[in-house]
Amino acid sequence: MMSKKKHRYSFVILPLIYVLDNILIYLLSIQFPVKHSFCLFLILEIIWFLISYFTKYYEIYRNTKPADIISKTLKQLTVFDLSIISVFHLHTLAVPNGILLKYVLILNAFVILFKLLIYILLKFYRAKGGNLRTYIIAGYNDETKQLQNILQKRVDFGYKFDGFFSESAGHGLMGSFKDIIPYLDKRPVDFIFCSLKECSDQLIKDLIVYADNHFMSVKFIPDNNEILGKALKVDYFDYFPVLSLDKSPLDKPVNQIIKRLFDIIFSLIIISTILWWLVPIIGLIIKLESKGPVFFKQKRNGINYEPFYCYKFRSMKPNPQADLKQVSKNDSRITKFGKFLRKSSIDELPQFFNVLKGEMSVVGPRPHMIKENERFNKRVDNFKARHYVKSGITGLAQVKGFRGEVITDDDINNRLKYDLFYIENWSFWLDVKIILFTIFNVIRGDEKAY
């Protein structure tokens, strides 16, 4: 029995979107005041297809995050724009620069609006009960209940729950594991979620075989919370598959190059447009208010736990506790001007020199002083894992509200959680998003900036 049911439109939606994209490209291409406009369309179509294949532009699913959709769209349009500008500068297909720019801007605007419209309509349609996907869960435990709760709340994902199956006792179970296949014979579903904590190897094998023969999909729920947020990849040794944990996208050389180039360019912009005139002014005020150097440098642990000197504008009076005691609210060591520097985060700006030197990145886990790291390592498991990448001037934990003084275990645990999420899910657009949120928080004011 096949599980394909009526009113399933996913197999139509993506091809339809692709066709509509190409109709848009064609309608705009015939506006060029040149001969052989159809040839231009064919060239544009080939370019669009090749780029969409490599950027995976059309690989968007009902649970794809909006940030990922934006990232895919911007990648697609950026590469497409650069490609057509290069192609149209060939002498046989010369197009005036003004016309070319107009085409690029209009196409970008229409594609973004179209993508946004499709996203909103599909979310709305699924929230109203259309285009649903049914599923069962094999296993009844904290992890499976958490998944079911998420899918129940996110009605816009479009998932309909048929029930739990488990050997353990529980309210509302549809049956035990032996009842799954007879149930599916009568009521086919789209997805079978298997809890690795409860399902035996034989049961998993039986469900995979059944699903393959009935056009269903099997998905697995890990029994170890530590790997729930980690990316998995399959490595093959000849024909033997092995699951590996991907530590970070920054393991890839191309991503390292992208991040480093951005760090250098962004730092040079800040230094050449802001710091060249701001440093003398702030330095003069610091000197007039209290004795001591303009800059404060402190040893902190960076990538691979290697120590480096982190630079800041000095915001405190020189004191012997600077490397031992973290700053607290209403700390008497902070100068009047220092309060302003810390509240506005201007005291962090000299760290762009650390970035240029390659010791830090614009975005990454914030570095702590040596003594703090020693203390946190004893209190929190896996704390050193946040040093897998370069420390940052700002970070995901900071824009989520976990910055400054560490008072409770929750403060440092949440900071670690967001730092590890950043490391395991890095992307260029995540860095951009964090920078924008940082600017917004600075303008709005952060109660933990002291």
What domains sit in the chain, N to C, each tagged with a CATH number?
Answer: 10-127 (no CATH), 133-228 (3.40.50.2300), 253-444 (no CATH)
H/E stretch holding 106 reads: helix 97-127
- Segment 124-149, tens digit of pLDDT: 888 888 888 999 999 999 889 988 99
Which residue, chain included where needed, has tokens 């059944």? 210
- Segment 64-112, tens digit of pLDDT: 778 778 888 888 898 888 887 777 766 555 667 777 788 788 888 888 8
CA-based Rg of the chain, rounded to a whole angstrom?
Answer: 27
Between the CA of residue 207 and those of 71, 139, 177, what are the distances in Å?
36, 13, 10
- Segment 323-345, tens digit of pLDDT: 667 776 777 788 899 889 988 89
- Can you tell me whether residue 140 is helix, strand or coil? coil
- What's the pTM? 0.61
Q: Is the dihedral of CA 80, 82, 87, 91 positive or negative?
A: positive
Between the CA of residue 437 and those of 404, 429, 433, 442, what are the distances in Å?
17, 12, 6, 9
DSSP 366: P
pLDDT at 275: 95
Between the CA of residue 252 and those of 57, 248, 256, what are the distances in Å?
21, 8, 6
- Segment 418-438, tens digit of pLDDT: 999 999 889 998 999 999 999
Per-residue tokens: 76: 């697609």
Residue type, 281: I
Of the pLDDT bands very low, low, confident and very high (cuts 50, 70, 90), residue 2 is very low
Say how far apart CA 94 and CA 416 lie, in whole Å. Answer: 54
Helices and strands counted in the chain (H then E): 15, 11
pLDDT at 213: 83
